[in-house]
Amino acid sequence: MKTCRIVRLAAFTLFIAVAFVLSSCGSAASPVSAPEKAVSSSPLFMWHVEHSDMPGKDVHMVGSVHAGTPEFYPLDPVFAEALKGSEVLLVEIDRSQMEPSLVSRMIAKHGILPEGESLSDHISVETMDKLVALLDSLGIPVKTVDRMRPWTAGITLAVLAIHLAGLDPSLGIDVHLMARADADGIPIVGLETVEQQLQIFSVLSTEQQELFLVDTMDDMEDAASTIALLAQAWQDGDVEFMEEFILEEAEPHMEALFDALLTRRNLRMRDGIIESLANHDSVFVVVGAAHIIGEGGLVDLLEKEGFTVRQMEGKG
């Protein structure tokens, strides 16, 4: 079985509500524009999907980076052309669900400790000391995370690592494509809800949550270089590198999180895509890149359902 390092997944898998609240990016975005640049016929992190039993129907599926930089843009014209010809855009979470007060209530429900409890009550002294030292080195007061559950503190650190690496959630590929869909009048449908994403972590045991927090802290040291490598792999359409770098041999204590974070969600996304094809001729999908690749990823799952899936190339 494969698993993955936490900060890598925060950038390439999670479209989680916490990232938007912490980044103040819950509002609508505009499509990113940039000076024209030459494009080549290099592979894209985008796939075309069709089935012999569904003539005239197809899917364009993009593995997203949920935080980006201006250098990501403009995207290859193939992205905009495929989106413009689609009847619906499927995303992890419909932006209408990202209303800040609603998200804050969900985070309070699932990620904040009851009155009278603190994070130090739920993790070991060793883990707390490590967290305090890390926060001190970053100039962040410990009280910032004091009322958080261990998993919420871990997500907060993962989002911080993304920011420190120079990536901006408002420049994520999915945010950009949702803005284009809005501009083109294409309906946007969520495959998940905010609460479903938060429950991925809230159902973990306290021990599993602490292990998640520790793994996140361990990843912080080389997070910037790691995320930069993955961002470049996305721009190059380098699936092999992405699979090798994001997915690693299983760490037994993280198997439950991996199952919740990817395995079960991939199955739900697969079903949502197939269901959407029953109602539309052309569907565009954008979800975190880690959902697309590897065994049990959407390419693999759709091929097992008899679909023909091919990676697309940029325009030469």
- Kindly tell me if the per-residue pLDDT of 23 is higher than 50: no
Sheet containing 58-64: order of strands: 188-192, 88-93, 282-288, 58-64, 43-50, 308-313
Q: Distance between CA atoms of 149 and 151, rounded to whole angstroms?
A: 6
3-state helix, strand, coil in the chain (%, to 5): 55, 15, 30
Helices vs strands, H then E, count in the chain: 14, 8
Look at residue 14 and tell me whether its pLDDT is greater than 90. no
pTM of the model: 0.87
The verdict on whether omega for the bond into residue 74 sits within 30 degrees of 0, i.e. cis, is yes
Judged against a pLDDT cut of 90, whether residue 79 lies above it is answered with: yes
Weakest mean pLDDT among 168-177, 202-211, 248-257: 248-257
What is the percent of the chain with per-residue pLDDT over 90, rounded to a whole number?
50
The mean pLDDT value of the chain amounts to: 84
Query: How much is the average pLDDT of 238-250?
Result: 77
Contact (CB, 8 A) for 73 and 176: yes
